[in-house]
Structure 1
Amino acid sequence: MTTGSNSPVDRPVIAQSWRRSQMSGLHPEDSPDVRPVSISARDHPLLRAASPVLDEVAHQLADSDTAILLVDSDARLVSRTFGGVRVERVMESVGAVSGVGFAEDAMGTTALGTPLEIRGGITINASEHFLDQFKAISCYGRPILHPVSRRLEGIICMSNLEQTVNPLFAPFVDRIAGDIEQRLLDNSRARQLAVVEAFQRVAPRRDVAVVAIGDDLLLTNALAADILASADFGTLRAVAADLGARERSTKMTLSSGNAVDLIANQVPGSAGGALFRIRPSEFSRVVVPRKQPSSDPVVPVAPRTGWTHAAVTGEPGTGRTSAASELVGDRSARVIDAAGLLGSGRAGDLATALGADDAVVVENVHLLDPVGLNALRAAILAGAGTVVLTAPPIAELSSPVAALISLCPKRIDLAPLRRRSTEIPALAGQVLSRVAPHARLGAAAGEALLACDWPGNLTELTMVLRTAADEAGRRGDTTITVADLPSQYQTTARAHRLSGRDRAERAAIVDAMSACAGNKVHAAKMLGISRSTLYTRIRALGIDH
């Protein structure tokens, strides 16, 4: 980072924050987008706990140029308390409005975003803000931690319109944070009691498995303990995160491969707690489509009936080869990978294979030259034999390749793993049965996997599980823990706790980032949002960037 007369080089913590801000693409003269969003205390545990405390503080701040701001764990501004009209106008002019994100990658160095990065309190004087728009404000902010889980719930910040922070701010803010933390503890006890009471009303039944999930609470009856593996509880938490007020009935595949009928209900007064009733289905156990041991991923495919030519599309690693093999079944088949024909002088291999009686599987058909594409088109139109093609998603294909795929009456589009998060425990169980039969996935490790984006799809999942099983084996254990996973997968489980709408937004951003090779400027343009808004949503949705 270049330094000058305006660089805060005398405080390393500020210098490091400025460096992070620059690496996020911010410039001092930037003025980030501000889009107010209404935040309801009813739906926000932190705000529900903080509101009575902040109401009391408001009387103490009257007729002063000070403000108290509160952001949640995603750096969204959820509460504002002003001592006067002047400070309110100044704070609103710099974007301090409800719902706006104050993460460092969106707003630079502030006493709201920087404490999230350093997980500690910090004083920031006016000139130490990275963005010029904040240089008339000084502030002190510190984290609010849940007294039981020690989870970071938010940041409380006190600001004034001076060039330096009032030295009395730190003890005053520390007292406010302590009062909020105590109310979080009291509310947590009440929420847990609601979950326990809901569980006790249903748990005595012996004909149904019962699971209750709350904040840092998990309860099961004897039948649930028998049929559910630890990894299945991560899937249940994902379902709980997307529950509405109405009862939800669905089917679920357990990590054992067995299918069950699931009935889920929200627990009133639990702030996201859920009660599950689970019955085994009549459906048969999911079968791993594999004739012999292999490192390829598992992909369940419908049986082949009434088709001659087929196409399998999907991102790399989703199991296109496995799906094509399952479609061909026991028939004799010739497999040709178009990638191997490039510059090899073996262009005639395709014509030879199409002229034989065997089924033909053409991998990576999008890599064929125009001559090869025309030969395939002619063979399919002539009704020759059985042809199975594999290719990337249809939206990524050129017009000639997409037209060729459209000639296949049977099409299988394999969804990327990031859109199959609730299936991950079951898929992990199937993968482990092949690569490490004696290993099993622990609950915490399963939840960590649910939070990952999986750009490499099932192939990546297989690699991760093989590595983790080896690490657990070196410890002399058969249960995979979070510590056994490669370091980049030892993530928080924030992503799988998002609402359905947030998960859809998260998937759209991940897809845009992938299409733009990680270029955030181009991804923001594709999504129709500003760069600063994209940075804010990346942070809020827990996207690894």
Structure 2
Amino acid sequence: MVDELPTRPEILASWRRTQEAGLAPDSRLDPDKTEPFDEASRLRRAAAPVLDELAAALDGSRYTLILADQNALLVDIRYGRDAMRSALDEVGAVVGGRFTEAATGTNSIATALELRRGLSVHGSEHYLESFRRFACYGLPITDPATRRNAGVLDITCLEEDASELLRPFLLRGVRDIEARLLGDTRRAHRRMLAAFDAAALATSDALVGLAADLVLTNDAAAELLEPADHAALQSVALDMERMRRRTWRCAFELNSGVQLELEATVLDGGVLVRLMHGRRTAPVRRRRRVDASPDWHAPLERDLARYRAAGSSVLVHGEPGTGRRTVARRLTTEGPLERGGHGSTIELDGPSVSPNTVGDIPPGTRTVLITDADLLSEEVAALVERRVARDDLRLVLTTTATALKGHVAMLVARCPVRLELPTLRSRRDRIPGLATALLRERNAGLRLTPNALRVLASQDWPGNLRELISVIEHLADLRSTGDLTEADLPPGYRVLRRATPGAMEQAERDAIIEALRECDGNKVHAAAKLGISRTTLYKHIRMHRIDVAALRLGSDVAG
């Protein structure tokens, strides 16, 4: 009802954003659904002594201090009373919980991050009904070194305990945390500068030093690297931080096409990257090229050409937005694909295929391409299977589903080749080059800055390629020329997010699969090709759930 809506404009706007995200007011958070976080992060290090002091002042009260990082992940909670711990646990406000507006609605963490300013939320102003017994006040924490949002400090209490004194109390804590962040950054910068200078004296290779709001390059690196390369290196550094790797060695291809060997080392103050010509490293950690083409599927072309030439039946599987239809069409060699059957390939849309459609497949058809084959009805799937068997037709199918049953599963089983399309989040190192190429294609006068590319590469991209293209098209229309910074990105894409499992694991998996395929599944030969022991290869095969038998059949889906 309209008369039940909040009256403050910023709260009403937050309710509307939450409704657009599909969250219902009676939704409840699962307190057991938490995410891992870095307990030794700069934010937690800087905040710990400040929280200790503030918590001592609140001891015995019904106030709770909550620290969230820049991605709305709760990373520290200090309770004045155990009764508040029980009350907040009940509504899912626990360490490791993610408090975005899409997940938790209007509150002083999610909405303060969205608005980038302090905010109080009282009782019925909360979007979730389970939060309406509380009042809260949140203030963003700004990293003085980067001027970016580092998180939010929040104080929460029962509605009857709300006080105007919360804001100055919280403001003092935020200022102290920001001062400690600045001191930590300066120390990190000094350590990185010292390590970079020492390395620069010992080598003529291209060197890059990466720390908080600091990028160092020697002359060799400055001549080699483009903005997309800088963003790709930042992605490698984030992956190393998440995986807690101290070193990383891989092949690295620049946006310009120059091939180098990369050696990255985590230091106390950041990450030192060395780029070398003409050297080889363990290929099991090979990194795919940062593609300078707007064609996301270019790395697949060799396999696509092989499957086209062989006339293989192929299942193309991938998440929404990964380009399943595009890849399926590239697997056929005929001209325009027309539902009416002109040419030797007919394209059908799974949800709309009827028994009559199957009966109308014209004579002379050699390939049947069905998009969203998992949405075929059981009756239609059975008819297609019989028609394929009778006329010895080639199948090219696309699906998003992995668990298939009945006649649909039988139809999919006729595809010995199964091609898994990569998600954007599993190829974060390719996003900077792809975004640069897509923008250049739409507006050659605009340029994404390295920081903007780094932020784009860190996003989760649930809509994959389709979602990235929408963002780039928005940016291309902003103006005719100039640099685009992270401030120009659409709301919701401006925050640097912690990398999720992706590029490194995928690079390892890809290298092993390629070696096994080239060696026809022979593990001994594949291990020798990769330069690792058989024991190490077996461990990686188990870890990445690679089906070696499927690779012998030419399948690209493992596990």
Q: Same fold (TM over 0.5)?
A: yes
Partner of 1:318: 323
Question: Residues of 1 paired with 2:154 and 2:437: CA distance?
Answer: 48
| Secondary structure class of the residue paired with 1:32 | coil
Whether the 8 Å CA contact 2:372–2:400 is kept in 1: the answer is no
| Secondary structure class of the residue paired with 1:239 | helix
Listed as ranges, the matches of 1:180-329 within 5 Å are 180-204=177-201, 207-243=204-240, 244-268=244-268, 270=269, 273-280=270-277, 298=298, 299-302=300-303, 304=306, 307=310, 309-311=312-314, 313-315=316-318, 318=323, 325=330
Listed as ranges, the matches of 1:26-425 within 5 Å are 26-27=24-25, 32-35=29-32, 42-83=39-80, 96-125=93-122, 128-129=125-126, 137-160=134-157, 163=160, 165-204=162-201, 207-243=204-240, 244-268=244-268, 270=269, 273-280=270-277, 298=298, 299-302=300-303, 304=306, 307=310, 309-311=312-314, 313-315=316-318, 318=323, 325=330, 335-339=344-348, 350-354=362-366, 362=369, 364=371, 366=373, 373-380=385-392, 387=394, 389-392=396-399, 395=402, 400=407, 403-404=410-411, 406-407=413-414, 410-425=417-432
| Secondary structure class of the residue paired with 1:149 | coil
| Alpha-carbon distance, 1:75 to partner | 3.3
Distance 1:403 1:416, change over 3 A: farther
CA deviations 1:27-59 (Å, max 9, x no partner) are: 36x653323969888523222111212222344
Q: Which moved more, 1:68-77 or 1:97-106?
A: 97-106
Q: TM-score, normalised by structure 2?
A: 0.67
* Stretches of structure 2 lacking an aligned partner (at least 5 in a row): 281-287, 335-341, 506-559
Question: Residues of 2 paired with 1:160 and 1:463: CA distance?
Answer: 41
| Secondary structure class of the residue paired with 2:275 | strand
Distance 1:194 1:19, change over 3 A: same
Question: Residues of 1 paired with 2:102 and 2:96: CA distance?
Answer: 16
Give the letter aligned to residue 261 of structure 1. Answer: E
Question: Residues of 2 paired with 1:470 and 1:161: CA distance?
Answer: 46
Question: Residues of 2 paired with 1:493 and 1:375: CA distance?
Answer: 52
Whether the 8 Å CA contact 1:301–1:323 is kept in 2: the answer is no
Question: Residues of 1 paired with 2:344 and 2:499: CA distance?
Answer: 42
Distance 1:461 1:376, change over 3 A: farther
| Alpha-carbon distance, 1:187 to partner | 1.0
| Secondary structure class of the residue paired with 2:65 | strand
- Percent of aligned positions that are identical: 30
Q: Which moved more, 1:436-445 or 1:311-320?
A: 436-445
| Alpha-carbon distance, 1:143 to partner | 1.9
| Alpha-carbon distance, 1:113 to partner | 3.7
| Secondary structure class of the residue paired with 2:227 | coil
Whether the 8 Å CA contact 2:200–2:207 is kept in 1: the answer is yes
CA deviations 1:266-291 (Å, max 9, x no partner) are: 122x3xx32222234689x9899x9x
| Alpha-carbon distance, 1:264 to partner | 2.0
Distance 1:361 1:416, change over 3 A: farther
Whether the 8 Å CA contact 2:260–2:278 is kept in 1: the answer is yes
| Secondary structure class of the residue paired with 1:232 | helix
Question: Residues of 2 paired with 1:39 and 1:492: CA distance?
Answer: 22
Question: Residues of 2 paired with 1:378 and 1:245: CA distance?
Answer: 55
| Secondary structure class of the residue paired with 1:174 | helix
| Alpha-carbon distance, 1:231 to partner | 0.7
| Secondary structure class of the residue paired with 1:25 | coil
Whether the 8 Å CA contact 2:426–2:503 is kept in 1: the answer is no
| Alpha-carbon distance, 1:502 to partner | 12
Partner of 1:529: none
Question: Residues of 2 paired with 1:459 and 1:40: CA distance?
Answer: 29
| Secondary structure class of the residue paired with 2:72 | coil
Give the letter aligned to residue 58 of structure 2. Answer: L
Question: Residues of 1 paired with 2:445 and 2:164: CA distance?
Answer: 59
Whether the 8 Å CA contact 1:231–1:445 is kept in 2: the answer is no
| Secondary structure class of the residue paired with 2:363 | helix
Give the letter aligned to residue 421 of structure 1. Answer: R
Partner of 2:494: 492
Whether the 8 Å CA contact 1:287–1:300 is kept in 2: the answer is no
| Alpha-carbon distance, 1:182 to partner | 0.8
Aligned residues, how many? 475
CA deviations 1:167-224 (Å, max 9, x no partner) are: 3332222122111111111111122222222322223455532222222221222222
Question: Residues of 1 paired with 2:148 and 2:179: CA distance?
Answer: 14
Distance 1:178 1:403, change over 3 A: same
Question: Residues of 2 paired with 1:18 and 1:434: CA distance?
Answer: 37
